[in-house]
Amino acid sequence: MIKSSSIPLILSLLEKAGSEILNIYHDGNFNILVKEDNSPVTRADLASDKIIKTGLAEITPGVNVFSEETKEVSFTERSKWDPLWILDPLDGTKEFIARNDEFCISLALIEKRSPVAGFIYAPVTKTSWYAIKGEGAYKMMNNVKERLPVESRNGLFRINVSRSHFSDREAVWIEKFRRQNEAVIEIWGSAIKFCRIAEGVSDVYPKLSQIHEWDMAAGHLIIEESGGRIIEYGTGKVPAYNKEDYHQPPFIAFGPGVKEWKKWT
C-alpha cells in the first residue's frame, strides 16, 4: 500500500507531466506516429512517460512501471512485479490530437492484481482525482479537495459513452437500456469518463469494445472508492490486472447512486 506522504508527491509529479503535455499541446508540434496497433502516439505521450517514470523511481524506488509506451516487457518478467504501477502517460491521445481538451494522465498502483491507489489528472482544467484503497476517493481543483461523490442521482440515468471509441455493441446495449429507463447520453473522451461516474454527475458507462489495463486501472479504483462499481459484462466478475493479456474484457461501470446494477451486467 502507498504511504500517505507519497500522495502529494505523486499529484505534483502528474501536474509536472501535465504541464509538459500542455506545452506541446499549445506548441502544436505533435510528431504523430502510428503504432503497430494503429493507435497514435505523440511526443507528448513520450515526454509524459519519461517524466512520470523518473519521478516514480524516486517516490517509490523498486516498484516497476508497466506503461502503454513500454508494454513490450515480457509477461515472464512482468508477472513477478508485485506491486507495480500501471501508467497511461497520455490517455486520450486522439482527443489531444483533435484539440478537444478531453485528455488526461492515468496512473494506478496494483497489488495482487487489484488497484490499491489510482490517480487521474486532466492538464487543461488542472483537476486531479485520486483514490486509496479503503480511504475513499477525492477530487482536487483550485486547491479545493472534495470527497466523492459530489452529486446524487436525480432519477434520470446519465449514460457516458466514448467520443472516439463508441461501438455498435454499446449502441445496442444502450438502446435496450433506454427502452426500460429514462436516460440521456453524455459523450466524453479518455478516463475522464470514470471520474464523472465517481463524481456522481454520470451514472452508467458501458464499455463493450476493446480497452486495455492502463486505460481503466486508476478509474476502476476511483469509482469503487466513491461507492460505485465496475463489473465485467456477462461474468459478473471484478476486473483484474497485470494479466498476460493486457486487454480487458467488456465491462459496465455504475455510479454510487445506481442500486439496480445487477440486472444490467
Q: Which domains can be identified in the chain, with CATH numbers?
A: 4-147 (3.30.540.10), 157-264 (3.40.190.80)
CA separation for the pair 37, 153 (Å, rounded): 38
Q: Name the band, by pLDDT with cuts 50, 70 and 90, for residue 105.
A: very high
Q: Name the band, by pLDDT with cuts 50, 70 and 90, for residue 164.
A: confident
Strands ordered across the beta sheet of 64-67: 64-67, 84-91, 104-111, 114-122, 127-132, 136-141, 144-147
Contact criterion met (CB below 8 Å) for 192 and 65: no
pLDDT, residue 230, reads 96
Q: What is the mean pLDDT of the chain?
A: 94
Strands ordered across the beta sheet of 204-207: 183-188, 157-162, 204-207, 251-254, 229-232
pLDDT, residue 260, reads 83
Residue 68 has pLDDT above 80, yes or no: yes
Residue type, 96: F
Q: Name the band, by pLDDT with cuts 50, 70 and 90, for residue 163.
A: confident
- Of 168, 50, 35, nearest to 94 by C-alpha is 35
CA separation for the pair 24, 127 (Å, rounded): 19
